[in-house]
Amino acid sequence: VTLLIVTVPYEPEITALAPEGNITSSTFVLEQPRCVFNNTVSDTDEIWLVVSLSSAISNFTNPTSLQSLPPFWQFPETPNYMTMGTSSLNYPCEKSSGQITVLRVGNETGCVLDRSRPDCNGPLPGPGPYRVKFLAMSPATGPKAETKWSAPITLKTVKDPASIDTWPGRRSAGMIVITTILSILLAILLASLICCPPSFGSLDISESAEIMGKQDPVTVKRYNTHHIYDQPAFKN
């Protein structure tokens, strides 16, 4: 028997909280689907997140039971998986003060290769783009309701250091590091010269007097004037 799946008029979206970390190179953060399935699910139903490559949503088929969920460890060869299943009771309409109301997709690293965790919320393997939707599942009868697919979500890409343009002069990263170190050393040297200027050995008056006092006295060569030879004793 094919059950009718209700599509609710809700589209998952990136949260507006903490915009600097909403999208990284392997994760993105969604608003929780609060009050989305209130009229279509019971307290025993579970809400799951479907993650898919954007190009593959047209071929996605909702699983018939919780045992047939597409696993994370086959992604992206199998271009979609399901994760973060939880009771519908965890998405109440009421929001307590300070309560976290977001979901970070791609936040687990320890279960990436764990075959016993098909619902692993592992890091996303590339920039995407991805699209997601929420799916309400009954443990007994399978899917009951779903949201619309989100808009495409593209992750950030990490730039290869070798591809960084080191203008001016197209210098290498090593040259830039050496230049920076030399500039810092020069700045330290200049600062030390400004703070402690060198002494050029200038002498004060007392030092000058002491040095002068240690010099040998001036000697004058004795000589006789010509009238001394006019004395009688010196005449022939």
- Each residue's pLDDT tens digit, 151-163: 999 999 876 555 5
16 has pLDDT over 60:
yes
With 50 as the cut, is the pLDDT of residue 114 above it?
Answer: yes
pLDDT at 3: 63
What value, to the nearest 5°, has the Cα angle with vertex 110 and ends 25 and 78?
Answer: 65
- Looking at beta carbons, which pairs linking 114-117 to residues 24 or more positions away fall under 8 Å? 114/73, 115/71, 115/73, 117/72
pTM across the whole model:
0.66
Is 133:149 a contact under the CB 8 Å cutoff?
yes
Residue pointed to by tokens 């190179």? 25
Contact 136, 88 (CB under 8 A): yes
Pairing, β 142-146 against β 6-7: parallel
Average predicted confidence (pLDDT) for the chain: 79
Flag whether pLDDT at 191 surpasses 70: yes
Q: How confident is the model at residue 32 (pLDDT cuts 50, 70, 90)?
A: very high
CB count in 10 Å sphere of residue 72: 24
- Residue 10: predicted pLDDT: 95
